Amino acid sequence: MLIIPRRQMLAGAGAALITRPALANMMLGGSGGGALPWVLKANTVSQTGAATSVTTSAIDTTGADLLIATIFSFTNDVSGAITDSKGNTWPGSPTAQGGAAGAYTKLRFVQGGTVGSGHTFTYTGSISTYGGILVAAFSGSLASPVDQQTSAFAAANTVQPGSITPTLNTELVVTSFCGNEMAVSGTATVNSGFALTDSVSGGGGTEGAMAWLQQTTAAAVNPTWTAGDSSSNPSSALIISFKHA
């Protein structure tokens, strides 16, 4: 599937950059379309510098049954509270987390929660976050969806989360990234057929990104993330797969 990225300024984040695929491509799926079970209904992102709380713009999550939020942070402030405007409870586990000094990322999710228009998401930490929150809303999940997960970090501007092999065909595989950048010079990219939901930079010198892949046949996958800033160091990444209904 051809992904045509578009770059724009992120409202309210100063010089921050955001890259995401065109909406028509996002709705088809990360790897193929047609009868495959997963559909990306909506996504959003928000960044902050020294603030301890950050809230996204409103999106329409109607039809979604799996809400995924990834926190990324320079300061390891990734274990705070996630709340949303629909009153969903975001459990602390199971989660996938990767981190090193200066680059942390953590994923949490809600299955079968309340969705609809005007849906916003807030992350509240205990110290200055210097990062942000990425959110993606999917349809197609099983009631207990988590399958495989792992994470890793590297003292470099590239990182692989580690290899996982989903148990079932057509699982949803999600990966996220955090990089400690020296300059706002670009946004992170990922290979292995993953489609970005959002990729941003400029939140207090931190890059963050999330991407997804809808496998046709279960197979080992271990993508490589590359920071937009070539001097970014360190970097962290996680990967997790979800079973479909």
- pLDDT for the residue numbered 150: 95
- pLDDT for the residue numbered 51: 87
- Single pTM value for the model: 0.87
Question: Is 4 a residue whose pLDDT tops 50?
Answer: no
Using one digit for the tens of pLDDT, what is the confidence trace for 109-152? 999 999 999 999 999 988 777 889 999 999 999 999 999 999 99
With contact defined as beta carbons under 8 Å apart, do 67 and 139 qualify? no
**Among 175, 191, 195, 185, which Cα is nearest to 228's?**
185
Arithmetic mean of pLDDT over the chain: 85
- pLDDT for the residue numbered 16: 62
When mean pLDDT is compared over 33-37, 52-56, 171-175, 186-190, the highest value belongs to 171-175
